[in-house]
């Protein structure tokens, strides 16, 4: 089992992270995430919206167990906070309190606030970095036009990551424009819902490729994403066996012709 690494900002993070959206059993998930964090994964994604802050508290339990320096934490702010810098700071401080940390590594705008210009919302948002609540900033659910506008609106920070829905079954939006744009601008893509809630496991083409490599369809679906260079999938895993399967997605590559077959799905 070989862990791979990607870059966010100036940091090395595991090529696959773990998301915390819609965890059903926190105690069971705690054991799974603890296993991940002690077997090479150092990259956890959460948000204030997830279970009304309980997901951030869950990540805080993990931090307490493994130490702050051993987790690259991403969290996300709700768009309605972005109308005012004081509201942004208030939300940021509340998130840090739930997480039990002094700072996060990456803070994202969860999705654009449609009542504010992109320029105004990102300028209000970047105060989180200026005040030391986060090391890096980024966005989530922005299209290429919005991302470009955000980049050119910042006064002092840079956008190091964008989080998008991206999977082997949902890829045209990312691959048509965003992938190349982010490569040119040194922006990591965090791919959420990379397993389509398990639907990738039943796809006949994915299964066929998986059989060829002696891997599972889940492993092929994740490996396809990490083969894209700057892409970091963030699946959820509530059981240790799921984590082990995810870890087995790293450390190998498919032939170019098989990647093309999967790209054609």
pLDDT by residue (tens digit) across 162-178?
A: 999 999 999 999 999 99
pLDDT at 16 over 90: yes
Q: How confident is the model over 94-148, as pLDDT tens digits?
A: 999 999 999 999 999 999 999 999 999 999 999 999 999 999 999 999 999 999 9
Residue 137 structure tokens = 């900033």
Average pLDDT over residues 10-20: 98
Q: What does the alpha-carbon distance between residue 134 and residue 242 come to, in Å, rounded to a whole number?
A: 30
Confidence of residue 1 (pLDDT cuts 50, 70, 90): low
pLDDT at 64 over 90: yes
Q: How confident is the model over 31-47, as pLDDT tens digits?
A: 999 999 999 999 999 99
Confidence of residue 2 (pLDDT cuts 50, 70, 90): confident
Residue 2 structure tokens = 């070989």
CATH superfamily of 5-198+229-238: NADP-dependent oxidoreductase domain (3.20.20.100)
Q: What does the alpha-carbon distance between residue 101 and residue 227 come to, in Å, rounded to a whole number?
A: 33
Q: Where are the domains of the chain?
A: 5-198+229-238
Q: Specify the long-range contacts of residues 244-247, CB closer than 8 Å, at least 24 apart.
A: 244/35, 245/216, 245/218, 245/219, 246/16, 246/18, 246/36, 246/41, 246/218, 246/219, 246/222, 247/1, 247/3, 247/16, 247/36, 247/39, 247/40, 247/41
pLDDT at 75: 98
Model-wide pTM > 0.95:
yes
Element (H, E) at 236: none
């Amino acid at each position: 089992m070989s862990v791979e690494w990607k870059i966010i900002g100036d940091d090395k993070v595991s090529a696959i992270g773990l998301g915390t959206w819609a965890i059903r059993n926190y105690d069971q998930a705690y054991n799974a995430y603890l296993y991940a964090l002690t077997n090479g994964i150092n990259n956890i994604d959460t948000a204030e919206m997830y279970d009304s802050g309980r997901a951030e508290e869950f990540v805080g339990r993990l931090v307490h167990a493994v130490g702050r320096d051993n987790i690259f934490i991403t969290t996300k702010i709700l768009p309605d906070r972005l109308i005012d810098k004081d509201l942004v700071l208030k939300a940021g401080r509340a998130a840090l309190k739930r997480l039990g940390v002094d700072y996060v590594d990456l803070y994202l705008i969860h999705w654009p606030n449609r009542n504010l210009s992109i320029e105004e919302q990102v300028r209000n948002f970047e105060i989180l970095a200026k005040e030391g609540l986060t090391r890096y900033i980024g966005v989530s659910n922005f299209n290429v036009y919005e991302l470009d506008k955000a980049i050119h609106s910042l006064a002092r920070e840079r956008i190091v990551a964008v989080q998008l829905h991206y999977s082997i079954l949902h890829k045209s939006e990312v691959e048509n424009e965003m992938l190349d744009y982010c490569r040119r601008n040194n922006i990591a893509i965090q791919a959420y819902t990379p397993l389509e809630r398990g639907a990738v496991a039943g796809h006949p083409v994915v299964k066929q490729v998986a059989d060829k490599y002696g891997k599972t369809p889940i492993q092929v679906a994740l490996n396809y994403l990490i083969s894209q260079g700057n892409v970091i999938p963030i699946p959820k895993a509530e059981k240790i066996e799921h984590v082990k399967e995810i870890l087995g997605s790293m450390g190998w590559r498919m032939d170019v012709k098989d990647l093309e077959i999967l790209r054609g799905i």
